[in-house]
Structure 1
Amino acid sequence: MQTYVALLYSIILGGGRRVVMSDLKAMAESLGLKNVRTLVATGNLVFEARTTKISVLEQRLESAFEETFGRHVDIIVRGAEAWLKLAAGNPFPGESADAGDQVAVRVMRKSAPADAVEALQAYAAKDEKVLLVDGDIWVAFSRERPSSRLLSASNHKRMGVGTSRNWNTVRRLAEMVGSRQ
């Protein structure tokens, strides 16, 4: 058995309805996934399954989600080792220690385009930083501005399929999978 992390792109079903994490957990268990756990109410799953291709897990989860909740949602899956590597590769440790909610990573299904950082720099405020690490896009957001143009600029159309999580969530997921290694 291998431990995996699954990240849902969105848990909003429309009409003000959100996915309830207990329902998401039940959906994952119906696929035969073991030791299924959720982290906060934003679509984060940790589970165990037989070692298989990541793309197969993503497809199974996406199909089950659409069947269960009536809407397609992109789901990004990483194995435990890959998740721990992602967390260890945080290029903004100082900023993360000061304000973990102001550092985020866009976890990509396929590596972000080589020119992603350059393209995003045009949208960054002077005190914001953007780096590409192992195909994922890391951002240290401004502590001075209430919103950032980087969020809308790092969409599926420009960067490819991915979903963002702040450092607090990345770290807590790493703790969850690290305890199962």
Structure 2
Amino acid sequence: MRTYIALLYSIVLTPQRRVVMADLKAMAEGLGFSNTRTLAASGNLVFDAPEVPIGELESRLEAAFPSAFGRHVDIIVRDAAAWPAFAASNPFPKESAETADQVAVRVMRQPVPEAALETLKPYAAPDEKIALVNGDIWIVFSRERPNSRLLTAVGHKRLGIGTSRNWNTVRKLAEMVRA
């Protein structure tokens, strides 16, 4: 058995469409996954499963989701053993310590090529930062602007399937899988 982390894309849309974490755990257990647990009510699932290709786990979870919740949601799966190193690769440790809620990472299903970073830079405000680390996009968002242009620039249409998590969530998931 191996431990994995599943990150659901944008599940808390409205109170009527909210995904209850107990139901998410039950769906995963119905797929034969064990030791299921969640972090916060924002679509972070940790589970144990036989070691198989990540894409197979993503496909199984995404196929089960509409039956359980009535709609499709993209799901990114990562090997939990690699998550602490992923968290340690944060290129913005100073900003993360000072304003953890303003630092986020766009966790990608397929790595974003280096060239994409140059196409994103024009969307960054002067007080925002962006970095590409192992195909995932790390961002320090502006405290001054409530609507960052970077947020829409890193979406599915431009970069492919991914989901964002703030530094607090990344750190807490790392702590959770280390325990």
Fold in common (TM above 0.5): yes
| Partner amino acid, structure 2, of 1:31 | L
Tell me, in whole angstroms, the C-alpha distance in 2 between the residues paired with 1:42 and 1:20: 9
Contact 1:65 1:73 in 2 (8 A): yes
Tell me, in whole angstroms, the C-alpha distance in 1 between the residues paired with 2:168 and 2:15: 29
- Structure 1 equivalent of residue 160 of structure 2: 160
- Structure 1 equivalent of residue 24 of structure 2: 24
Structure 2 runs not aligned, ≥5 long: none
**Residue 119 of structure 1: CA displacement?**
1.3
Structure 1 runs not aligned, ≥5 long: none
| Partner amino acid, structure 1, of 2:81 | E
* Correspondence 1:107-122 to 2 at 5 A: 107-122=107-122
Query: What is the CA deviation profile of residues 101-139 of structure 1, one whole-angstrom value per residue up to 9, with x for unaligned ones?
Result: 100000000001322211111111001000000000000
More helix, by proportion: 2
- Structure 2 equivalent of residue 143 of structure 1: 143
| Partner amino acid, structure 1, of 2:91 | P
**Residue 14 of structure 1: CA displacement?**
6.7
Contact 1:25 1:36 in 2 (8 A): yes
**Residue 140 of structure 1: CA displacement?**
0.7
Tell me, in whole angstroms, the C-alpha distance in 2 between the residues paired with 1:16 and 1:154: 27
Q: CA RMSD in A?
A: 1.4
Contact 2:12 2:42 in 1 (8 A): no
Identity over aligned residues, as a percent?
67
Contact 2:21 2:38 in 1 (8 A): yes
* Correspondence 1:27-176 to 2 at 5 A: 27-176=27-176
Task: Give the number of aligned pairs.
Answer: 179
